[in-house]
Structure 1
Amino acid sequence: MGFITHCWKSAKVEPRRWGGWVLGAWLLLASAAWAQNSVAELTELRPERRDAALYLTAQLKLELAPAVEDALIKGLAVHFVAEAEVMRDRWYWSDRKVGTASRYYRLAFQPLTRRWRLNVSNEPISSAGLAGSISQSFENLPDALAVIRRQSGWRIAEMTDVTPDTRQYINYRFWLDMSQLPRPFQIAAGNQTEWSLNVARQIRLTADMVR
């Protein structure tokens, strides 16, 4: 009888344990399902010659994860970088870089005015160096992101360095620059996929593009 009673008591405890494990697993799966990642997709990459230079137009599909938007609203500035390199094929050595250009974006929310501020520069942007950038204010986040999504009139190389009788290509990349975040936040967000935003593409230059 003592043995049967002992087993019965154990049997009554086990369902409660299993219930806790099931609930914990459900919450873990639910939180993973609710999590949304940032999205960056390149929908257009078009080089064209204008006068004595090669220009680039890039169009992005860019959506920020709720976690990134929440960090922005709480006062964290987020930085993005767009980079284009014009490369020339060399069979005897590594390919030669004949042109390069970068655009730096700093996006921040201003609680006092309830407006969004976007700084754009050809040089890296720091909190102390905002004066060297072009600043724009927007009433909402989609309007600010629209400027980042559309990168036009971007001078990436001089035509004297780009010739139609050689094989050349453009390397394009756009990413969220985690190195500009405060160090504690870098550590906390480093392994979170919501903050992983990076897109890259390579496009060949044809003779018609550079003639």
Structure 2
Amino acid sequence: MTLRFFCFLACQLLLVFACAQARAAEAIEVTQAEVQLSEEGYRLNTRFAFELNHELQEAIQNGIKLHFTTEIEMTRPRWWWRDEKAVLAKRTIGISYDVLTRQYNVSIGGSVPQSFTTLDDALSLIRRPARWLIAPRGALKQGEVYDVSVRMYMDRDYLSKPLQVNAINDSSWRLASNRRTFAYRAG
């Protein structure tokens, strides 16, 4: 039991040191972001464009689960007081590789993971997620204009502690988008 633990720890430390010399990660681009009103409430429809660098692909192949978090914030500007934060929501998608089944698993929140045979197929679910319910119907004031801000980033908080230390110092583990902002009139 303890020998297995030390082997696991040694493998993680080797991965940390191997990734320390890595090149900078490319950014995530928000290619589409819109809020849509449905019967259930307000849904976020997004599309992202990004590629995993070699170090992140290698990390997944070595059994490290990566998490991508999408954040949305909707505020209503007010001239007489602070802006009202109407919606602040996050959703995290995890991607991992199962060596035994040779499949990539993608799980959204606490849902049952979906399996894919290739990394590109698994990443397509992260790049083009299903419309996400961000607020119930009636949460926004009808006819009011809201400032919407959307971003996605690789969430390093889900990594094990040794990898978190490496991720802070290594730019190849920093994969994030700029905030995409737009106005939305509540229906």
Question: Same fold by TM-score, threshold 0.5 exceeded?
Answer: yes
CA RMSD of aligned residues (A): 1.9
- Distance verdict in 2 for CA 1:53–1:184, change over 3 Å: same
CA displacement, residues 149-200 of structure 1 (integer Å, 9 cap, x when unaligned): 1123211223422224433121212110111111111112222221111112
Deviation, 1:36, is 5.5
Pick from 185, 197, 208 the counterpart of residue 163 of structure 2: 185
Under a length normalisation based on structure 2, what TM-score does the superposition of the two structures give? 0.80
Corresponding position of 1:82? 70
Contact 2:149 2:180 in 1 (8 A): yes
Pick from 174, 188, 203 the counterpart of residue 182 of structure 2: 203
Corresponding position of 1:8? none
1:166 aligns with 2:168: no
Contact 1:62 1:145 in 2 (8 A): no
1:42 aligns with 2:21: no
Pick from 66, 90, 108 the counterpart of residue 120 of structure 1: 108
- Could you say which structure has the higher helix fraction? 1
Under a length normalisation based on structure 1, what TM-score does the superposition of the two structures give? 0.72
Secondary structure of the residue that 2:129 maps to in structure 1?
strand
- Structure 1 distance, partners of 2:40, 2:85, is 18
- Bigger radius of gyration: 1
User: What amino acid does structure 2 have at the position aligned with 1:202?
Assistant: T
User: What amino acid does structure 2 have at the position aligned with 1:91?
Assistant: W
Deviation, 1:101, is 2.7
Q: Which runs of 5+ in 1 are unaligned?
A: 1-31, 122-131
Contact 1:100 1:157 in 2 (8 A): no
Q: How many residues are treated as equivalent by the alignment?
A: 166
1:156 aligns with 2:134: yes
Secondary structure of the residue that 1:44 maps to in structure 2?
strand
Contact 2:76 2:84 in 1 (8 A): yes
Structure 1 residue ranges, 4+ long, deviating more than 3 angstroms after superposition? none
Pick from 77, 97, 102 the counterpart of residue 90 of structure 2: 102
Contact 2:167 2:174 in 1 (8 A): no
Bigger relative contact order, structure 1 or 2 (CA pairs below 8 A, ≥6 apart) = 2
Deviation, 1:75, is 1.2
Q: Which runs of 5+ in 2 are unaligned?
A: 1-20
